[in-house]
C-alpha cells in the first residue's frame, strides 16, 4: 500500500510539473516568439531562399564599358554557360539597376574600361558582379558562370602571355602536363546547394530552438527564484529525476509536432531528399531530443537570466554543421574537434539524419552516431539531475536566509 501511495504521489508530482511547464511556455510571449520564429518562420524562410536548389539560365545584365573584342568574347562565353542568360549587354549601370529593380535581371556583371588593356600588359584583369538576394543561389550561378567563362578565355590567351614570364617559368609551364579532373557528386547528382545543406540545417534548427527554449525557462527560474519551489517536496536524486523527466516530456511532445513540420512538411514542400525510412528517422530523433534536453537542462540552469542563452546559442550554427562532418570530413579533423563531435548532441544527430534522409542509410549504418546519442542521454541525464539538485538546494538556502 505504501508503494502504491508513493507511485501515486510521484505521478501527481510529475503531472503538476508538466502542467506548470506547459503554462510557462504558452504564457510567455518571448518563448512563443522564439519557437514560432525559429521553427516556422526561419524554417520556411531558409528553405525559400535556397528553393531554386540548382539555378539555370538566370537573367543577367552586362554593363560593358570596355567595348573591346576581349569583353565581347567574354560575354559570348558567359551566355553559353547553363547557369546564366545574358538578357542585355548594351546598357549602362543605372539602366541595369532598373532592370534588377523590375525583376527583369537577377544580377549585373560590370566590365571596366581597362578590361582588355590590363590583359595586354600581362596584368590580371577584373570584373565586378552584383546580384539580388531574392535567392542566395543566384550569386553561386553567376560565380560559376563567370569562372567558367574566364577559364575558357584564359585558355585562348595563355600562349600569348608566356612572353611576360621569366625564362625558367616559361620552360616549366611549356613542359607541364594538363590534369583532367572528373567528379561525380554522390547522392546529389544535380549538385544542388539546398539539397546538400538544408537537411543538416533542419537538425541544427531543432537543436538551437530547443536549447533556446530550455535556456529561457531555466534562466527565468533562476532570475525569479522560482526554482526554489521544487524544494518543497524534497531534493533527493529521485525527486530531481522526476523534475527532469517531466520537463523533458513536455519538450518531447512539443518537438514531435515541430519535427513533423520541419522534417515532414518542409521536406515535401521544397522537395528535399527523403530516402530514409520514417521509423529510422523517429528512432534517431528520440535520443537526439532527449540528449539535447538533458544537456540543456544541465547546462543552462547555471544562467542567471533568460536572455543570455539566446546570445550563447545563436552564433554556433556554422560550427555545428562543421562538427557534424557534413561540410568537412571527420577523417581530416584534429582529435579535439572529433571529441567535440561526440560531446554535443547536434553533430552526431545531423550526420545520422543526413545519412538516413539523403543517402538511404539504415540504423545499422549509422550505428556509431546512434549509440553516441544514447550514451549522451545517460550521461547528460545524470548531469542534469545533479545540476538541478545543486541549484535547487542553493536557491532554497538563499530563500531561507532572506526570510
Residue positions counted in the chain = 403
Q: What b-and-e string marks burial along 236-260, b requiring 16 or more CB atoms within 10 Å of the CB?
A: eeebbbbbbbbbbebbeebbeebbe
pLDDT of residue 180: 64
H-helix segments, 81-192: 93-101, 115-120, 137-161, 167-175
Statement to judge: residues 134 and 251 lie in one domain: no
Residue whose cell numbers read 581530416? 332
Asked if residue 185 belongs to a domain, the reply is no
330 in Cβ contact with 352 (< 8 Å): no
User: How many domains, in total, are found in the chain?
Assistant: 2
Statement to judge: residues 28 and 100 lie in one domain: no
CA nearest 59: which of 30, 13, 100? 100
User: How much of the chain, in percent, has pLDDT values that exceed 90?
Assistant: 20
| Better-predicted residue by pLDDT, 180 or 318 | 318
Asked if residue 181 belongs to a domain, the reply is no
Asked if residue 194 belongs to a domain, the reply is no
Question: How many whole angstroms separate alpha carbon 252 and alpha carbon 294?
Answer: 12
78 in Cβ contact with 161 (< 8 Å): no
* The model's pTM: 0.76
Domain boundary among 142, 175, 208: 175
Statement to judge: residues 241 and 390 lie in one domain: yes
84 in Cβ contact with 54 (< 8 Å): no
371 in Cβ contact with 282 (< 8 Å): no
pLDDT of residue 237: 83
28 in Cβ contact with 74 (< 8 Å): no
Asked if residue 209 belongs to a domain, the reply is yes
CA nearest 70: which of 157, 182, 160? 157
pLDDT tens-digit series, residues 370-393: 999 999 999 999 999 998 888 878
What band does 402 get if pLDDT is binned at 50, 70 and 90? low
Asked if residue 182 belongs to a domain, the reply is no
Mean pLDDT (the chain) is: 82
Residue 97: CB atoms within 10 Å: 16
pLDDT of residue 177: 60
List of residues 6+ apart from 365 with CB closer than 8 A: 355
What band does 155 get if pLDDT is binned at 50, 70 and 90? confident
Give the containing element (helix H, strand E) for 329: none
pLDDT tens-digit series, residues 16-26: 888 888 888 88
Statement to judge: residues 367 and 226 lie in one domain: yes
Statement to judge: residues 283 and 367 lie in one domain: yes
When pLDDT is averaged across residues 133-137 and rounded to a whole number, the result is 68
| Better-predicted residue by pLDDT, 193 or 64 | 64
Q: Grid coordinates standing for 281?
A: 528517422
* pLDDT of 165 over the 60 cut: no
Statement to judge: residues 133 and 241 lie in one domain: no
pLDDT of residue 381: 94
Q: The domain spanning residue 145 has which CATH number?
A: 3.40.1710.10
Q: 179: buried, middle or exposed (CB in 10 Å: 19+, 13-18, 0-12)?
A: exposed
CA nearest 366: which of 388, 345, 350, 343? 350
CA angle 199, 204, 209 (to 5 degrees): 130
CA nearest 205: which of 36, 32, 38? 38
Residue whose cell numbers read 553516441? 372
pLDDT tens-digit series, residues 261-303: 989 888 888 888 888 889 999 999 999 999 999 999 888 777 7
When pLDDT is averaged across residues 56-81 and rounded to a whole number, the result is 88
Question: How many whole angstroms separate alpha carbon 91 and alpha carbon 140?
Answer: 23
What band does 118 get if pLDDT is binned at 50, 70 and 90? confident
Asked if residue 188 belongs to a domain, the reply is no
What band does 55 get if pLDDT is binned at 50, 70 and 90? confident
| Better-predicted residue by pLDDT, 316 or 275 | 275
Statement to judge: residues 317 and 223 lie in one domain: yes
Asked if residue 140 belongs to a domain, the reply is yes
Q: Which regions of 48-114 does DSSP assign to beta strands (E)?
A: 58-64, 84-88, 107-111
Statement to judge: residues 237 and 96 lie in one domain: no
pLDDT of residue 134: 67
What band does 207 get if pLDDT is binned at 50, 70 and 90? very high
Question: How many whole angstroms separate alpha carbon 224 and alpha carbon 202?
Answer: 33
Statement to judge: residues 350 and 233 lie in one domain: yes
DSSP 20-88: HHHHHHHT-HHHHHHHIIIIIIHHHHHHHHTTTSS--SEEEEEEESS-SHHHHHHHHHHHHSSSEEEEE
DSSP 263-276: IIIHHHHTT----S
255 in Cβ contact with 296 (< 8 Å): no
* pLDDT of 176 over the 70 cut: no
CA nearest 211: which of 354, 304, 318, 311? 311
Question: How many whole angstroms separate alpha carbon 194 and alpha carbon 47?
Answer: 8
Asked if residue 184 belongs to a domain, the reply is no
Q: Which domain holds residue 367?
A: 6-50+199-402
Statement to judge: residues 208 and 62 lie in one domain: no
Statement to judge: residues 239 and 289 lie in one domain: yes
Starting at the edge strand that comes first in sequence, how are the strands of the sheet with 128-131 ordered? 84-88, 58-64, 107-111, 128-131
Statement to judge: residues 134 and 253 lie in one domain: no
Amino acid at each position: 500500500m505504501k508503494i502504491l501511495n508513493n507511485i501515486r504521489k510521484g505521478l501527481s508530482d510529475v503531472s503538476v510539473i508538466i502542467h506548470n511547464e506547459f503554462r510557462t511556455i504558452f504564457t510567455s510571449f518571448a518563448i512563443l516568439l522564439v519557437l514560432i520564429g525559429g521553427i516556422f518562420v526561419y524554417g520556411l524562410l531558409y528553405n525559400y531562399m535556397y528553393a531554386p536548389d540548382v539555378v539555370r539560365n538566370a537573367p543577367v545584365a552586362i554593363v560593358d564599358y570596355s567595348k573591346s573584342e576581349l569583353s565581347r568574347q567574354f560575354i559570348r562565353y558567359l551566355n553559353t554557360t547553363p547557369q546564366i542568360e545574358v538578357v542585355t549587354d548594351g546598357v549602362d549601370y543605372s539602366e541595369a539597376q532598373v532592370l534588377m529593380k523590375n525583376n527583369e535581371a537577377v544580377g549585373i556583371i560590370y566590365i571596366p574600361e581597362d578590361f582588355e588593356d590590363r590583359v595586354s600588359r600581362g596584368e590580371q584583369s577584373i570584373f565586378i558582379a552584383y546580384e539580388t538576394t531574392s535567392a542566395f543561389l543566384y550569386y553561386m550561378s553567376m560565380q560559376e558562370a563567370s569562372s567558367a567563362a574566364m577559364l575558357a578565355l584564359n585558355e585562348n590567351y595563355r600562349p600569348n602571355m608566356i612572353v611576360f614570364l621569366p625564362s625558367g617559368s616559361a620552360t616549366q609551364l611549356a613542359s607541364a602536363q594538363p590534369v583532367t579532373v572528373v567528379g561525380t557528386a554522390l547522392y546529389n547528382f544535380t549538385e544542388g546547394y539546398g539539397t546538400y545543406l538544408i537537411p543538416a540545417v533542419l537538425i541544427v534548427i531543432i537543436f538551437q530552438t530547443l536549447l533556446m527554449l530550455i535556456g529561457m525557462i531555466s534562466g527565468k527560474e533562476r532570475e525569479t527564484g522560482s526554482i526554489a519551489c521544487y524544494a518543497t517536496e524534497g531534493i533527493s536524486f529521485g525527486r530531481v529525476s522526476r523534475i527532469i523527466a517531466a520537463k523533458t516530456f513536455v519538450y518531447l511532445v512539443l518537438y514531435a509536432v515541430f519535427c513533423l513540420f520541419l522534417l515532414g512538411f518542409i521536406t515535401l514542400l521544397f522537395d528535399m531528399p527523403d530516402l530514409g525510412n520514417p521509423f529510422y528517422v523517429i528512432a534517431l530523433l528520440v535520443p537526439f531530443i532527449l540528449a539535447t534536453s538533458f544537456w540543456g537542462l544541465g547546462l543552462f540552469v547555471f544562467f542567471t537570466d533568460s536572455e543570455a542563452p539566446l546570445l550563447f546559442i545563436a552564433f554556433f550554427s556554422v560550427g555545428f554543421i562543421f562538427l557534424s562532418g557534413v561540410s568537412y570530413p571527420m577523417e581530416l579533423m584534429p582529435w579535439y574537434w572529433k571529441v567535440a563531435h561526440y560531446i554535443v548532441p547536434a553533430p552526431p544527430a545531423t550526420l545520422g539524419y543526413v545519412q538516413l534522409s539523403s543517402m538511404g542509410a539504415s540504423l545499422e549504418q549509422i550505428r556509431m552516431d546512434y549509440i553516441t546519442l544514447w550514451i549522451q542521454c545517460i550521461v547528460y541525464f545524470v548531469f542534469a539531475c545533479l545540476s538541478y539538485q545543486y541549484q535547487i538546494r542553493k536557491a532554497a538556502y538563499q530563500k531561507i536566509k532572506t526570510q
